[in-house]
Amino acid sequence: MKLKIGILLSVAFAYSQIVTAGFTKTVTTSGTVVTLTASRTLARWVLIQALAANTGSICVGGSDVTCANKKGVTLSAGQSLGLMPVGELKDVNKYDMLKIYIDSSVNAEGVQVTYAQ
């Protein structure tokens, strides 16, 4: 019984150390791919949600993402894409938001990003 309690406490402590944050990212000019962050930002998980006010599509993917050619994951207003945790809690952060790109089919539309470090 002691072992089980110790494991549960370790897991609870690990989760209590996770910091959640968020920001909004906008594509100023449709067809111009932008990164989620301006510098390397590591995250355990990332939730990318197209803004509810968007009238067009947001495409999420790598540096070659494009809404014009339907390359990447396409999100309509309010839809979201979750990049779930990889590995165990003790592992380092897995997602670098500098390497996640978005494009928009309409100028000045974007996403809300929520993530955990």
84 vs 60: CA distance, rounded Å: 15
Q: Count of CB atoms within 10 A of residue 72's CB?
A: 21
Condensed to tens digits (0 to 9), the pLDDT of residues 22-69 reads 999 999 999 999 999 999 998 989 999 999 999 999 999 999 999 999
Domain 19-116: top CATH class? mainly beta
Write down the domain spans for the chain.
19-116
- Of residues 6 and 48, more confidently modeled: 48
